[in-house]
Amino acid sequence: MIARVLVDGQAGDRISVMDRGLGYGDGLFETIRFLGADAPLWSRHMHRLENGCRRLGLPMPGAGALLAEARAVSRELAQSVVRITLTRGIGARGYKPPTKPQPTRIVAAFDVPPCDEPAQAEGIRVRLCTLRLGVQPALAGLKHLNRLEQVLARAEWDDPTIAEGLLCDADGLAISATAANLFAVFAGVAATPAVDRCGVAGVARAQVLAAWPHVQVRPIPLDELRGADELFLSSSVRGILPVRELDGRALAVGPVTRALQSHWRELGF
């Protein structure tokens, strides 16, 4: 039987209680959509992980070994989501990082979420979260393990007909959903919030920006967002999700959203 989880390359699903990933959230992760042995956005995930390692001072594992491990855990699944977690490894008590960290590498395969074809076709309902994201340029953009803001925001609602929550920062700028990036279209021009003060620089977002280089990356105040002609979310797991309702206000699914959904399908998803 093939292991579904590898810890440092070995079958096993447990880590030390002294791991700094547990103790301090001292690490990074990636959630990567696989289609059989292929992950169309693999190189973007590795690029972000490498950037995160550089900013946190972690050694980057070899991308070839990571890919082999991701394929090993997912190979019994026609489609899967592979989560790679990289921590600063075991350390003594205290915030000071070890001089030569031995990172812990966890590679785990999951089934893909249940089919969300209706969401893709008709769009999703999004509410406005009460929680505001804190501004922290030193961590902004990274997919690190300090995710209590997202946990608290996602705990704000339980209505299964609401798929996502919109997060603003303390200054009233719209930033993202709890687990997806945000795009808005104003008079035919697409824009996405900057993520240099808070938020995560999503891999699907990077793909959209590469495919459509004229998308504006800029601060988007919530008040401006409410006047958008189109809104959609991007997620490496869920793809391009049209927003059909924001905080009670109905929106049409427009041509820019549909064009990006086509692009997404062309990637193989």
Is residue 143 within the footprint of a copy of itself (CB under 8 A)? Answer: no
Is residue 148 within the footprint of a copy of itself (CB under 8 A)? Answer: yes
Is residue 26 within the footprint of a copy of itself (CB under 8 A)? Answer: yes
CB of 75 to a copy of itself, least distance (A): 19
Secondary structure of residue 119 in the 3-state scheme: helix
From candidates 10, 62, 64, 94, binder to a copy of itself by CB under 8 A: 94
Site string for a copy of itself, 183-212 (x = CB under 8 A): ---------------x--------------
From candidates 39, 66, 131, 200, binder to a copy of itself by CB under 8 A: 131
Q: Which stretch binds a copy of itself (CB under 8 A): 8-16, 59-67, 70-78, 217-225?
A: 8-16
Is residue 101 within the footprint of a copy of itself (CB under 8 A)? Answer: no
Is residue 21 within the footprint of a copy of itself (CB under 8 A)? Answer: yes
Bridge partners (DSSP) of residue 124 are 243
Secondary structure of residue 227 in the 3-state scheme: coil
CA distance 185 to 191: 6
Number of shown-chain residues binding a copy of itself (CB under 8 A): 57
Is residue 60 within the footprint of a copy of itself (CB under 8 A)? Answer: no
CA distance 159 to 149: 19
Is residue 20 within the footprint of a copy of itself (CB under 8 A)? Answer: yes
CB of 23 to a copy of itself, least distance (A): 7
Is residue 49 within the footprint of a copy of itself (CB under 8 A)? Answer: no
CA distance 13 to 3: 9
151 CB-near residues (< 8 Å, 6+ apart): none
Is residue 114 within the footprint of a copy of itself (CB under 8 A)? Answer: no
Is residue 2 within the footprint of a copy of itself (CB under 8 A)? Answer: no
Secondary structure of residue 80 in the 3-state scheme: strand
* Count of CB atoms situated within 10 Å of the CB of 16: 13
Is residue 19 within the footprint of a copy of itself (CB under 8 A)? Answer: yes
CA distance 124 to 121: 9
Of 227, 223, 217, 207, nearest to 267 by C-alpha is 207
Is residue 115 within the footprint of a copy of itself (CB under 8 A)? Answer: no
Of 164, 161, 173, nearest to 199 by C-alpha is 173
Is residue 96 within the footprint of a copy of itself (CB under 8 A)? Answer: yes
CB of 131 to a copy of itself, least distance (A): 5
Asked if residues 123 and 254 have their Cβ atoms less than 8 Å apart, the reply is no
Burial class (CB in 10 A: 0-12, 13-18, 19+), 22: middle
Is residue 175 within the footprint of a copy of itself (CB under 8 A)? Answer: no
Structure tokens at 23: 């103790």
| Size of the chain, expressed as the number of residues it contains | 269
Q: Which residues of the shown chain bind a copy of itself in the complex (CB under 8 A)?
A: 5, 7, 13-26, 29, 31, 56-57, 81, 83, 85, 87-88, 93-97, 106, 108, 110, 131-136, 138-139, 144-155, 170, 178-179, 198
